[in-house]
């Protein structure tokens, strides 16, 4: 499903460029885009959700789909997709970046979030809940919605520069979350994904209820959980001594 969704995302971006659309322009309707891309409306909406979370598009129930970034900016990326996460220090460094970005972002999101931000976060949580409820081995789908959740949380902080910086690590984030979720299934640790879902829900509630300290606390504990699971102790110790 993740590969199909990515293909639809690429098709939508291709259509934006083909039509020479600019920031503020409207895209074709969902029905027309579904026809152009040859996919179901449900899959199209998932791809649109990806682009909206990455601050490329905005969708409104009666206002259509609007481009909120010039096409030239769609290539803004550090091209991290091919980085090898294991066993070098890139994962330690990624976790450092996440702590620098996501804990303050959670605090800001609780102060600045909009109704649209809450809707995006809730959509991600519901998709993760459905995946968890199914009991199926779907680490790629889980990783997609997990990474989108964190991107939506950072976007809710209301700082465009921070959002752009965070987007540049999205591919790397998606890759490591996917490998992590695969370990949950491979090593029979469903308790880890259940705890992660609980923390996602708790963070959503703290942001929605505008509780900055609680949001920052949950975000920190969430990062602690994954760091303890995916980075062996000796790697963390080596990173600490090298800093």
State pLDDT tens for residues 124-170.
999 999 988 887 667 677 888 888 899 999 999 999 899 888 877 77
- In a shared domain, residues 92 and 190: yes
CA pair distance 12, 7, nearest whole angstrom: 9
The 3-class secondary structure across the chain, one letter per residue, is: CHHHHHHHHHHHHHHHHHCCCCCCCECCCHHHHHHHHCCCHHHHHHHHHHHHHCCCEEEECCCEEEECCCHHHHHCCCCCCCCCCCCCCHHHHHHHHHHHHHHHHHHHHHHHCCHHHHHHHHHHHHHHHHHHHHCCCCHHHHHHHHHHHHHHHHHHCCCHHHHHHHHCCHHHHHHHHHHHHHHHHHCCCHHHHHHHHHHHHHHHHHHHCCCHHHHHHHHHHHHHHHHHHHCCHHHHHHHHHHC
CATH of the domain at 229: 1.20.120.530
Q: Which residue has the higher pLDDT, 241 or 143?
A: 143
- In a shared domain, residues 190 and 211: yes
> What integer is the mean pLDDT of 203-212?
98
Q: Domain span at residue 49?
A: 2-74
- In a shared domain, residues 176 and 131: yes
Residue 107 has pLDDT above 90, yes or no: yes
Residue 243 has pLDDT above 50, yes or no: no
Q: Which residue has the higher pLDDT, 12 or 206?
A: 206
State pLDDT tens for residues 22-46.
888 999 999 999 999 999 988 888 8
- In a shared domain, residues 136 and 236: yes
What's the pLDDT score for residue 72? Answer: 57
The pLDDT > 70 percentage for the chain reads: 73
Which of 44, 74, 104 is at the close of a domain? 74
Which of 51, 74, 97 is at the close of a domain? 74
State pLDDT tens for residues 81-100.
444 444 445 678 888 899 99
What's the pLDDT score for residue 141? Answer: 75
Using 50, 70 and 90 to split pLDDT, how confident is the model at 237?
A: very low
- In a shared domain, residues 136 and 28: no
Residue 239 has pLDDT above 90, yes or no: no
What's the pLDDT score for residue 159? Answer: 95
Q: 156: which 2 tokens?
A: 């809710």
- In a shared domain, residues 25 and 95: no
How many C-beta neighbours within 10 Å does residue 33 have? 21
What's the pLDDT score for residue 208? Answer: 98
Q: 225: which 2 tokens?
A: 């959980």
- In a shared domain, residues 95 and 37: no
Which of 24, 48, 74 is at the close of a domain? 74
Total count of domains within the chain: 2
**Global pTM value:** 0.67
Q: What does the mean pLDDT of the chain come to?
A: 80
- In a shared domain, residues 125 and 221: yes
Query: Where is mean pLDDT largest: 136-145, 184-193, 212-221?
Result: 212-221
């Amino acid at each position: 499903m993740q590969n199909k969704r990515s293909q639809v995302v690429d098709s939508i971006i291709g259509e934006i460029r083909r039509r020479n659309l600019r920031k503020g322009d409207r895209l074709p309707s969902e029905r027309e885009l579904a026809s152009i891309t040859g996919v179901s409306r449900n899959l199209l909406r998932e791809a649109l959700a990806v682009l909206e979370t990455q601050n490329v598009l905005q969708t409104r129930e009666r206002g259509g789909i609007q481009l909120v970034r010039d096409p030239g900016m769609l290539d803004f990326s550090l091209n991290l997709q091919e980085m090898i996460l294991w066993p070098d220090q890139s994962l330690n460094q990624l976790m450092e970046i996440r702590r620098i970005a996501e804990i303050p972002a959670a605090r800001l999101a609780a102060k600045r979030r909009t109704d649209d931000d809450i809707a995006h976060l809730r959509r991600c949580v519901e998709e993760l809940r459905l995946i968890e409820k199914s009991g199926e081995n779907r680490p790629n789908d889980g990783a997609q919605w997990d990474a989108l959740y964190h991107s939506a949380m950072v976007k809710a902080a209301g700082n465009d520069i921070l959002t752009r910086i965070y987007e540049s690590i999205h591919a790397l984030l998606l890759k490591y979350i996917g490998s992590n979720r695969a370990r949950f299934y491979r090593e029979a640790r469903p308790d880890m994904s259940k705890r992660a879902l609980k923390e996602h829900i708790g963070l959503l509630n703290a942001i929605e209820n505008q509780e900055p300290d609680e949001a920052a606390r949950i975000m920190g504990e969430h990062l602690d959980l994954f760091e303890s699971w995916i980075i062996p102790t000796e790697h963390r110790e080596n990173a600490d001594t090298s800093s």
